[in-house]
Amino acid sequence: MGLLATAAMLEPDPQGFGTHQQLGLPACSFKVFVGFRCPSCGMTTSWSLFTKGRIFDSLAANAGGALLALSSLLIGPWALLSAMIGRPWGKVAHEWWLVGISTVILLVTMIDWMARILFEK
The pLDDT value recorded for residue 121 is: 61
Ranges under pLDDT 50 in the chain: none
First to last CA, the chain: 35
pLDDT digits (tens, 9 = 90+) for 73-99: 998 898 899 999 998 888 877 788 889
Rounded Cα–Cα distance for residues 114 and 101 (Å): 20
The pLDDT value recorded for residue 32 is: 83
The pLDDT value recorded for residue 45 is: 93
Single pTM value for the model = 0.84
The pLDDT value recorded for residue 56 is: 96
Domain boundaries, the chain: 2-17+26-119
67-82 burial, b if ≥16 CB within 10 A, otherwise e?
A: bbbeebeeeeeeeeee
- If you count them, how many residues does the chain have? 121
The pLDDT value recorded for residue 105 is: 95
The pLDDT value recorded for residue 61 is: 93
Instruction: Kindly give the interhelix angle for 2-9 and 43-51, rounded to the nearest 10 degrees.
Output: 90
